[in-house]
Chains A and B, each alone.
Chain A
């Protein structure tokens, strides 16, 4: 297909996302909004399959992945009990984050030899890898807390110290990758590990009662991770779809806090200060 045509179809997909999201925020149009967004997604995936790309295509692998994923997703969505919806959303969200993480990892692996480490390509890879990993491991912890397999009294010692140190490690390794003369894949693996760990230390101290807020925040992260992955490929649907979820997710997180008469800072720092205010109310 001609690139201009596929670009236009991508634009239609973006419009369907925007209209869908708008519909989802009003009671009368919510269901239609969800279907509209789903139509946008199907269109986006179809265009991604047929837009002109130089390469081997490997359609067999793609079909296998799509079939496996939609099968598992649809069955899980159908079988899950209504009361378990929030944890299901958290799990789904983590898987989206995992995809951004895998993209970051593979794109690092495929970085052509001699690539300038101080380049947009490396920055976007680092970004997608970090955000995707944090969203993945954080969502799994939130999932565990909601379904009861992780108890609230499971706490890390000195959570605020570990949190800050891990964050420093994430930044330090990112800087080391960007400052290097060539790509050191061991550093990429280290960044992956530390980012995954950060997701754990970010969510673990927060009480189960505040999990919906945290899931909304992690959902926003996954959106931003999708945007980061979109920047790698210069793909507008991923960039705009991702940032839409990222931005609306932040606002939704704040609204959910307000509905619970809490502030986001309370939820996050309350958890970090040892749990005095973090266990919901």
Chain B
């Protein structure tokens, strides 16, 4: 078990380094956000997490033409993630528009 873990870490060390640095970056970027921006920031970050759609696109592109299990569930995944992406960025934009008017 430990051997597998060490082998995994060894093979993916570049990836693990990126993960650690990106985690710190993510925490650092938003560490001083004012309270009024909490909800729009959450909403915007939520839209970014829709990046999972890329996985569903790759999945479909790799699938065999007759593999309906992958095609149907993958397309469903694309549609759901795309709702997250399109809706997420649009809702965030609406929130921030309102915020701008309030400030004036």
Contact = CB atoms under 8 A, between A and B. Distances in A.
**Interface SS of chain A:** helix
A250 B64 CA distance: 39
Given A48-B57, A118-B4, A21 B22 contact: no
A76 B93 CA distance: 13
A230 B93 CA distance: 27
Interface in A97-113: 98-100, 102-103, 105-107, 109-110
Contacts of B96: 30-31, 34
A17 interface: yes
Interface residues of B, number: 83
Given A34-B96, A41-B50, A102 B77 contact: yes
Interface in B42-56: 42-56
Interface string B37-79: 1111111111111111111111111111101011101111111
A31 B97 contact: yes
B48 A65 contact: no
A106 B69 contact: yes
B99 interface: yes
Interface stretch (A85-93, A158-166, A198-206, A262-270): A85-93
A226 B38 contact: no
Contact of A25 (B37, B47, B86): B37
A1 interface: no
Interface of B: 4, 8, 11-12, 15, 18-19, 22-27, 29-65, 67, 69-71, 73-100, 103
Interface of A: 17-18, 20-22, 24-27, 30-31, 33-35, 37-38, 40-41, 44-45, 48-49, 53-58, 61-62, 64-66, 68-70, 72-74, 76-78, 80, 82, 85-86, 88-89, 92-93, 95-96, 98-100, 102-103, 105-107, 109-110, 118, 120, 132, 212, 215-216, 219, 222-223, 225-227, 229-252, 255-256, 259
Given A73-B86, A215-B42, 17 more contacts: A25-B32, A30-B96, A34-B40, A34-B93, A65-B74, A70-B82, A73-B85, A85-B94, A100-B52, A100-B55, A212-B39, A230-B52, A235-B58, A239-B22, A241-B49, A244-B25, A247-B22
